[in-house]
Amino acid sequence: LRLRFSSDGSTVVVLDHDRSAGTSIIRHWRVADGQAGKAWAIPLGIGMNSPPIAGPDGKTLYLVAGGSVYVYDLRTGEDRSP
């Protein structure tokens, strides 16, 4: 389980690994009111060795794995990796 707040403190992101399913689950909440955003699964291994990084805009999530950076839209779960 990895947890990280956005730099402005408005969003908290949790990355929870489910080894039996072979996935990690991304969950996030607005701190001000506890409103949950969309949760989605990503392949196990992405973000396992580093914490999730919420972008300063509160809308982008960055994860690192094997020297690659993965970029996700926090609102939709869309993979925006280069």
Each residue of 27-42: pLDDT tens digit? 999 999 999 998 999 9
Within 10 angstroms of residue 32's Cβ, the number of other Cβ atoms is 9
| pLDDT per residue as tens digits for the range 8-20 | 888 899 999 888 9
In this prediction, residue 27 carries a pLDDT of 93
Predicted confidence band of residue 59 (pLDDT cuts 50, 70, 90): confident
For residue 75, the one-letter residue type is R
Across residues 42-71, what is the average pLDDT? Answer: 87
Contact in structure between 72 and 63 (CB atoms under 8 Å)? yes
pLDDT, averaged across the chain? 90
Quick check: 58 pLDDT over 80?
Answer: no
**Which pTM was predicted?**
0.82
Please compute, for residue 4, the number of CA atoms within 13 A of its CA located in the half-sphere on the CB side.
Answer: 19
Quick check: 1 pLDDT over 90?
Answer: no
Burial 1-15 (b: 16+ CB within 10 A, else e): ebebebeeeebbbeb
